A and B are shown apart, each in its own frame.
Chain A
């Protein structure tokens, strides 16, 4: 039982760092530009497809990853210049509509380009296999690598936001956009950088999961909604909130999904517990969100709007 718990906890943390990579971009774009981007999940999907393509072309996971990153920069920049830039000054409703349109476009474009059957990416030899954790418990190296990579990115983002000039501008922009722009900062360039950074992080998340999930057109959607939950729980615009929110959501989702039914079985008869567990498990994170927002309407680290 203890082993199972540790295993699920690690899976939760692994999902958590991935969610963080996605939610970080979302929360920055929300917090600094005040833009709702429903197409953010699309970027995660595109990252996975780019990874699958480049890895297949070069025959190497590492080359795939290396080529995916500049491609993600291009995707982010093009999206910012062609569409997002025109949405900054618009209402949230317009942003929802336009980015909803982007979701439809991207889904079909990916289907036209790559077809409907899922793709897969071979795991690199260096990261395959499992390491012993405690007792008979083993854990896949690749998942540990994801956790490490995610934590490294989180650390880098922390340094960027809190200890660099651009981070200072980001924080200032999140607090008072007009003032920053009045001080002579090129707000357009700042926004382009933030959006592209967010896009690259989402693509990176997609690329990292490609070897452990099948790459398909539906992968962006569930993740997008989860990332929104993370952002809302953490407080819009807060990277720290996104990090904590991602871990909470992911751990509750994975651990609750496994242990919820076990716990229910100790209270209810097996059949009822089974049915209830199936019903409750996917709703768990939303219930969590409702509870947190009931207590703190602006999220854990959010400022009241």
Chain B
């Protein structure tokens, strides 16, 4: 088992500790944002912050399978959509509680991930990427044709979700801290999963599926379980995004969004949960900043992306690593 706990021959404990420190630092910074925004009298930062927190959850969830299992899912935006539409559908039925909506989002995501994951995991490599992309598109088109919820135009939410009957999310700060609390809770959960026996088998399958099978673990079951968990966690991000914007539309689940999630993971460092969070922060701040420079910000973002892949294969991870914030070569 020694080569399992240290798949690349690296000492495991110090790395984890370093990353957890980095995550703690990030969470403290997140917690300080609203007071800072108040001081600067610019509440807009809190709204951007909520968006970043939601995407951090999604990127972390994607990193769980992409980083630790080398499963490049190109359809993860679908789960953002399930989360968002769970809010829209349930609230239109008069069910406004955040946690009930999250439960609904998770239930739908689990079913979708189970079915599409079971088919996708029969394939490998390029096929897997393409099939998850196609399933993502299937979900996208489903919601486009859902005329009861606005179809292509989307659907405005009358109000934000409630928590145990309380309107605590109506205020932007309340929603922000709820998002932060969910991010921290899910980060702890993901860390537990990665460190568990299940997580080590899953990572072992990434390194050598044949060997793991020979040792007696069925790769398919582990991969499918991780795929479902990842999808479910991503849908929580969708619930938060719908509340932040008070609006849902199929645009939440376009393939561009899936691409952006992958960008976030890679930007922050593949295979480090903290990296997913950091990547979401980096990508969205970059988007906001470029957006202030020019209306044509995707042009600059695209150029940045191409240059990064061509000349800095390890993304921002290398940079983070030199700063002592963890990260690992894939």
Contact = CB atoms under 8 A, between A and B. Distances in A.
Interface stretch (B22-30, B130-138, B162-170, B203-211): B130-138
Interface residues of B, number: 45
Contacts of B301: 101, 104
Contacts of B308: 97
Interface stretch (A107-115, A148-156, A159-167, A192-200): A107-115
Nearest to A95: B309
B131 A104 contact: no
A36 B129 contact: yes
B127 A305 contact: yes
B130 A232 contact: yes
A289 B313 contact: no
Contacts of A286: 134-135, 137-138, 141
A228 B255 CA distance: 13
Interface stretch (B35-43, B118-126, B153-161): B118-126
A232 B298 contact: no
B89 to A, nearest CB: 14
B306 interface: yes
B196 interface: no
Nearest to B151: A278
Contact of A293 (B119, B141, B145): B119
B296 A98 contact: no
Interface string B249-274: 00000010001001100100010000
Interface in B280-330: 296, 298-299, 301-306, 308-310, 313, 330
Contacts of B306: 83, 98, 101-102, 105
Contact of B142 (A108, A236, A279): A279
A221 B137 CA distance: 11
A103 interface: yes
Given A279-B142, A290-B135, A112 B262 contact: no
B72 interface: yes
Q: Which of A92, A105, A107, A275 has the most CB of B within 10 A?
A: A105
A90 interface: yes
Contacts of B133: 225, 228
Given A97-B305, A275-B147, A105 B135 contact: no
Contact of B305 (A104, A225, A287): A104
A284 B144 CA distance: 14
20 contacts: A30-B126, A36-B130, A83-B306, A92-B72, A92-B125, A92-B126, A92-B129, A93-B262, A96-B72, A96-B74, A97-B309, A108-B298, A112-B296, A232-B127, A282-B142, A286-B138, A287-B138, A293-B123, A294-B119, A297-B123
Interface of A: 30, 34, 36, 38, 83, 86-87, 90-94, 96-98, 100-109, 111-112, 221, 225, 228-229, 231-232, 236, 275, 278-279, 281-283, 286-287, 289-290, 293-294, 297-299, 305
